[in-house]
Structure 1
Amino acid sequence: MNIKRLIPNLFTMLNLFCGCVALVMVTNDKFDLAFYFVALGIFFDFFDGFFARKFNVAGPLGVQLDSLADMVTSGLVPGYTMFVLLRGWIVHLDFSVAALYPYLGFIITLGACYRLAKFNIDTRQSDSFIGLPTPANCLFVMSLPILLQDPPFGLILTDTVQIGLVVICFLSAYVMNAEIPLFSLKIKDFSFAKYKLQVSFLAVSVLMLVFLQILAVPLIIVLYVLLSVIDNAFKITKKA
């Protein structure tokens, strides 16, 4: 038996396991632990592909396992987290249809599923991404309940906040599947002139994480998308 062939799949299974544990944490309203288990799962998700390429053992089984694990960790977990957050809203509404609102959280799960399936057959995304990757979207969503636990929210969610969460559900599904090229974060040499956008973004991200901690997570992801849109517009203008 080729042990090297099993190593990437082991990391994929660890990703899936972390997603399962994160689901349990969300069920028990332990959103901070859920965030950390999701982050750990995404860490394992990075290394399954890394070792598959390093050991030259990439294959169709690994591709399918990776997508299935991501579907749980980066698809089901954020969707269920949003369901739990929206479920707290129905006590403030007077009509029975309100009971359906929490299920809007699973729009994130549906968007992630479509994104993962599309990614598997899209040959354009070998070096960079088109649309926001599901792990990045997941981290964005999983940071929200932690931020909402702090003052002035304290998880006593107003109608305005809840409407904002519903909007985020739809935006998440859209941004994951939108034809928005995102600049690659792979730096292949030490040329600042060539990679000034990537280096600047990573430097700002590190500073934000140091000073803002968990608040930096959604801000970094939003910044990544906005910079990509600006960079795309600049390239189009330059070509014209």
Structure 2
Amino acid sequence: MADNETPRAGRAESGAGHAIRVLLVDDHQVVRRGLRTFLEVQDDIEVVGEASDGAEGVAAAGQLRPDVILMDVKMPGMDGIEALRKLRELDNAARVLVVTSFTEQRTVVPALRAGAAGYVYKDIDPEALAGAIRSVYAGHVLLQPEVAGALLSQDESNGGQGRGTSLTEREREVLGLIADGRSNREIARALVLSEKTVKTHVSNILMKLDLADRTQAALWAVRHGIGA
């Protein structure tokens, strides 16, 4: 069952006005314990709960409303990919950072398509993991170099780089700001455009790159060195 804890008094606030609320979803208790032990010493991160599989994780996310979920991929019952899809169906606002030992491209790609905001391996340096949490919380897409390299290789084999040549210079600017986690309003202010014009650019970008949403657009941008 999800482990619900009330935020502790005296935690330092993040730049957004509160500590980053994190939910841990992993079927190995020792992994969850290790993550909690490290994260609880971070001044701007609050571990608000734990879950041992995808179904528990989805339920806990609905109850606890975390800012960031650390999610394993391979778990009994509902795995991480299915949990990501369910969270998306429920329109849960939490950003999901996949933390796993599985490095295969056939695992990475479905996770990102299902809505993961980042993908890192369990051997990541603890301080780097804390930085990854802060990064995805801020709206960025976070991939370890090995993951980005694998995705770039696949995208090139599928002709993805060629699709990018159809973007106009303005569309590439908009895409770069999407990768930086900017909203349409923020992009409009940065480029001195109307929000309606930005929405049109975003729609054109998605159509030209054959992508489903802004998250996929941000991932595509990161893989091709645009923004972020």
The structure with more radius of gyration: 1
TM-score in same-fold range (> 0.5) = no
User: Quick one: higher RCO (CA 8 Å, sep 6+), 1 or 2?
Assistant: 1
TM-score (norm 2): 0.32
Q: If each structure's strand is expressed as a fraction of its own residues, which one has the higher value?
A: 2
Q: If each structure's helix is expressed as a fraction of its own residues, which one has the higher value?
A: 1
